[in-house]
Amino acid sequence: MKRALAVLLFGLSLFAAASMASASFRVDPAAFAFRPHPGVRLPLAEPLYAKDGRAVTLGEFFGREPVVVVLEYLRCKSLCGLTLENTMTALDALPLDAGRDFQMLAISIDPRDKPADLARAEAKYLALYHHPGAAEGIHFLAGSVEAVRQIADTIGFPYRFDPDTGQYIHPAGFILAGRDGRISRYIFGVGPTASDLSTGLADAARGQTLSQIGRAHV
């Protein structure tokens, strides 16, 4: 019963994102659900840039710890802010430190997001995380349309821009990946629990790929 309710609520959150579309922008919510690819390796060579404009690759954040990867955009009026805020709050509750035990990447799907936007967002969400050395483990990134689309397609994160509203239609949730860049687990919805993150990060650290993906929480 609880699982059915969680799935229903996740569906409602996806419908809420689709309802942001303009009347002329026809959206099938099912077309913007995650298409999970557990075990697939992320495209680690894809170029991105950081809050200071520095050129990086996705792979620079892998190799030592498991990685939380959230695809979002900073002008989002529905799901992204809730996902980021709730994820940071859940991570804050863990006896784990960003930069030592895991990395967290928030990658913008919106080419309008520039380094100054990333810097403001990183400062905003770091304020919700009270562990030492957080700036070494929490990163807001962006990249070219082509690079970000390649990352999103590998994850199975469909999105589309509505020019009338200036908003993107996209699913709610994120992934956990192992040190080698392989997708370990999907967490659906905008409200991840500390328990889900603790279990998921431990599995990702062991290099486990799960056929059972994460539950939906909103």
Mean pLDDT (10-residue bins), the chain, 218 residues: 40 48 58 90 98 97 97 91 95 97 98 96 96 94 98 97 91 96 95 94 92 52
Note the pLDDT of residue 217: 44
Alpha-carbon Rg for the chain in angstroms: 16
Predicted pLDDT of residue 26: 63
CB burial of residue 95 (10 Å; 0-12, 13-18, 19+): exposed
Supply the pLDDT for residue 77: 84
Cα-based torsion angle of the residue sequence 169, 150, 142, 122 in order, rounded to the nearest 10 degrees = 70
Task: Give the tokens for residue 121.
Answer: 């967002």
Task: Cite the beta strand spans of the chain per DSSP E.
Answer: 47-49, 55-57, 67-72, 103-108, 138-141, 160-162, 167-169, 173-177, 183-188
Query: What CA–CA distances, in Å, run from 208 to 38, 124, 202, 213?
Result: 10, 32, 9, 12
pLDDT at residue 143, rounded to an integer: 97
Look at residue 167 and give its three-state secondary structure.
strand
Q: What is the pLDDT of residue 12?
A: 42
Predicted TM-score (pTM) of the model is: 0.86
Instruction: Region of 161 please: left (phi>0), alpha (psi -120 to 50) or beta.
Output: beta
In the block, which residue shows the tokens 């569906």? 11
- According to the model, what pLDDT value does residue 31 have? 77
Which tokens hold the place of 151?
Answer: 């990352």
Tokens at residue 162, please?
Answer: 């509505």
